[in-house]
A = this chain, B = another copy of it.
Amino acid sequence: MSNTLLPKLYKTMKRIRTFEERVSELFIKGESAGTMLHLSIGEELGPACVGTAMQENDTFTTHHRGHGIFVARGGDPNRMLAEIAGKKDGYCKGKGGSMHIADMTLGHLGANAIVGGGIPTVVGAAMSYKYLKQERVSVAFFGDGAMQQGILYESMNMASLWKLPVVFCCINNQYGMGTKIENAVGVKDFSKRAESFGLNTLHVNDLDVESAYHKSKEIIDSARKFKPGFIEIECYRFYGHARMDKSPYRDESEESEKRKLDPISFASNQMIKNNILDEADIKKIDNDIMIEMDKAMEFAINSPINDETEIFKDVYSENDPLPVSLDEKINKILNN
């Protein structure tokens, strides 16, 4: 147990959760850009185990519920929260917001607001790595809902056909918005689908993050050797679909039952039971994280808003003129 990764994994999960709580507060304070904020509270195990099993140069795309993965891959909470607030210091200058948050220098090839939209991206990224002889794996993270997007199967087939260093990672939180998985799929065994396309598969359905880490690492390592893989992490979305949703479509009893399956308290109990860390150690970790995230909050709130000219930037390359504003267009016609 001496070289256990559990503290590291715990810390990652706790950072994710604390971050998401701050996102929620940001909203309550009226400081978030809109309400389309999809929190991964309860779903931290997947980002932590897969995110940690990836290597430094590996890349990834995420779905709309991607804050957690980004945190696990080194996203800076300051710039993340600033982005979610729609501010100038945000990763995307506040133009992308929660659903498009990304840091390309960290290999984050983009969060996507289109369910399934970021999946083929990793196929193309992996084509590049293979062609350029870079030892990198690209991982697509998406929800169980995206298992019903056809583009996933097109992508799986390409990955299998071309033997690409790709992993498809489904964070199955049992719901697509208000629709329970049973009402969205004919057969729940997603691994079978992936297998039929020739992928290595892993199905994680417990709370042991360290074991999930090791198994995920095997899948990712195989992918690096050109055997693409599929990972499904079962979990439960503790709260509503987006910040405004109170989940009236599901039982409170189901919720309270399922919220007991908390990967974070499970990991903390594991550490205590196995004498890896004691309660005080854990409190220290938690406290440091709280301080970190409080600072991020402050950073985001204090970050300035953008100048309106920002609307016109980043549409075309820097060498191209900015698109002409409506105001200029109209005045030119009127002054003709």
Which of A128-136, A146-154, A252-260 forms part of the interface with chain B?
A146-154
A174 beta carbon closer than 8 Å to chain B: no
The complex places the Cα of A150 from the Cα of B187 at a distance, in Å, of 17
A189 surroundings in chain B (CB, below 8 A): 196
A217 beta carbon closer than 8 Å to chain B: no
Which of A72-80, A93-101, A155-163, A310-318 forms part of the interface with chain B?
A155-163
A8 surroundings in chain B (CB, below 8 A): none
A161 surroundings in chain B (CB, below 8 A): 183-186
A299 surroundings in chain B (CB, below 8 A): none
The complex places the Cα of A160 from the Cα of B148 at a distance, in Å, of 12
A192 beta carbon closer than 8 Å to chain B: yes
The complex places the Cα of A185 from the Cα of B197 at a distance, in Å, of 8
A183 surroundings in chain B (CB, below 8 A): 161
Interface magnitude class on chain A: 20 to 34
- Nearest-neighbour CB distance to chain B for A229, whole angstroms, equals 13
The complex places the Cα of A154 from the Cα of B158 at a distance, in Å, of 17
State which of B148, B149, B186, B198 has its C-beta within 8 Å of the C-beta of A198: B186
The complex places the Cα of A183 from the Cα of B196 at a distance, in Å, of 17
The complex places the Cα of A193 from the Cα of B196 at a distance, in Å, of 5
| A 53-83 contacts with B by CB, 8 A | none
- Nearest-neighbour CB distance to chain B for A192, whole angstroms, equals 4
The complex places the Cα of A161 from the Cα of B185 at a distance, in Å, of 6
State which of B150, B158, B198 has its C-beta within 8 Å of the C-beta of A153: B150
**Quick one: closest B residue to A183, CB to CB?**
B161
A298 beta carbon closer than 8 Å to chain B: no
The complex places the Cα of A192 from the Cα of B198 at a distance, in Å, of 10
A156 surroundings in chain B (CB, below 8 A): 186
- Nearest-neighbour CB distance to chain B for A111, whole angstroms, equals 21
| A 176-223 contacts with B by CB, 8 A | 183-187, 189, 192-193, 195-198
**Quick one: closest B residue to A155, CB to CB?**
B150
- Nearest-neighbour CB distance to chain B for A228, whole angstroms, equals 9
* Best-buried of A153, A154, A184 by chain B (most CB within 10 Å): A153
The complex places the Cα of A159 from the Cα of B150 at a distance, in Å, of 14
The complex places the Cα of A157 from the Cα of B187 at a distance, in Å, of 8
A197 surroundings in chain B (CB, below 8 A): 186-187, 193
**Quick one: closest B residue to A120, CB to CB?**
B150
The complex places the Cα of A189 from the Cα of B185 at a distance, in Å, of 22
The complex places the Cα of A187 from the Cα of B192 at a distance, in Å, of 13
Residues of A within 8 A of B (CB): 148-154, 156-161, 183-187, 189, 192-193, 195-198
6 A-B pairs closest in CB distance: A150-B150, A160-B186, A192-B196, A187-B198, A186-B198, A161-B186
Jot down 12 A-B pairs with beta carbons below 8 A, ordered by A: A148-B157, A153-B153, A157-B186, A158-B186, A160-B186, A161-B185, A186-B198, A187-B197, A192-B196, A193-B193, A195-B196, A196-B196
